[in-house]
Structure 1
Amino acid sequence: MNDKNIKQIIGDKMITSVGNKKIKDIQKLKENKNIKKLGKYLVEGKHLVEEALETNVVEEIIVSESFEDYNIVDTFDGDLTKVADSIMKSISDTITTQGIIAVCSINKKELDINKYSKVLILDKIQDPGNLGTIIRTADAFDFDCIILGKGTTSLYGQKVIRSTQGSNFHIDCFDNVDLSKLIDEMTDFNIFATSLKADKYIEQLDNITGKVAVVFGNEGAGVSEEILLKVNNLLKISMPGRAESLNVSIAAGIVMHYISTNLK
């Protein structure tokens, strides 16, 4: 489907009212409760829409009247809707919209933890920006599975999706998982977690082999005591400066980099 044909399909039909049912339905997907209920979420911007299209999760694409990069949706055969620029601004979650939003379906997958070898486990991470950054970092260091425990912020919120920059489409992600039960099943894994109770610094680790999992916890409370009792490798990060702690996404990056580069 070339640029001309796409424009012919859309034609002059354009949604100009915020009261339109389609626009109201899209607005609903800006709330986590509706994302879960409807099994759909939004991605916004050219790069993220392209990433979503590659994974075949896109149900519908909405473009603004001033949008011009139709080559992005050249092979898309689903619903394509044009809206007035003012309508796009009303459904956009960014200050400066790129004029394109996709409605994506949540694909439910069965978790078989033994399929994976480098697993990231998140225990009640609350900040969407932190979650998205951690997922993007895990992708950079070649982790192949991300587990979001119960109480962790939604994987499908727009701020999380923007922060991942598409990495959520590269790694198998599972949310709302009972971490205590899962860790009991991970008998073949070396499981690491950061804790102030640790008696070993990460820099002292050597000879990391086999399957590994790394647990990171809540921004304020850290990894829960219940999970720490199940982990066989507690670590802390050496901090020679005066700061008392690190942001969880920064700590996660340091630990994942060290483990990834020293795994044999």
Structure 2
Amino acid sequence: MASAQDHVVDPVDSASVLSPAFAGEHAWCNEKMALSTDLPDAVPLPLFFGDGGFKQAIDRYAEACGNSDRRAVVSMWSLYYFSALSIPYVLARRLAAQELPVAFDGMAIAVQENGLPRAFGVPHRGRNAEGGEEDGFEAIGPLLEQHLPEAVTKLNASGISAKLCWNNAAVYLDYALRMTRPPEGPDLAVFVRGCLPDGGVNPLCGSVRYVEDDGERVARRKICCLRYMLPGVQSCGKLCALPSQRNVQ
């Protein structure tokens, strides 16, 4: 007999809504992740990164940033990429028990006029996820196994370090995981354990930790995202790895 994970998630009432989780305060996710058939301007990710689309997007965003340091441009671009990918995925997984199909080779991307990622397209609505308690690794397993390593490889080839890419992904994974569970408590296992469940090296280990800052418990990155090198970009405040940048407006 087929298990719950073998059943494709039933379509929701509106064809434009990918997940039941994308409603109310999370309705903005409909603008970040949708069926590929609902994104006519989206390009398959392998083609986007392999046929000049990514370089063109970075060139456009660099121009919008006054042709600032290209490492900072790519890093900021990746923040938009990882947020649009990770937050909707975790919300669907945690709030609707829906495992969206996020394999790198099966997804598509649409970009804005300035080159920044606008939305991701997925091939179908995914599968029902098994219920019960889960740790962070279980919630984000498909992202770690099927998408993030390939995305990091592509971004790393553009001139920024893999560690920076993983840290950029980590801050949104941390945000989404805590948004769907009580934020109190110790650092999440996915950012503390050195090994993945399969025994491999955990690239997220140490990338986000929680510290006391002026009596407030705050998340802090391990590696700076370089946003301070871009004109007009707001500081990430106490999240920043650089003490000199935490109070910059």
The normalised TM-score by structure 1 is: 0.27
Higher relative contact order (Cα pairs below 8 Å, separated by 6+ residues): 2
Higher strand residue share: 1
Higher helix residue share: 2
The normalised TM-score by structure 2 is: 0.28
Q: Give the structure with higher Rg (CA).
A: 1
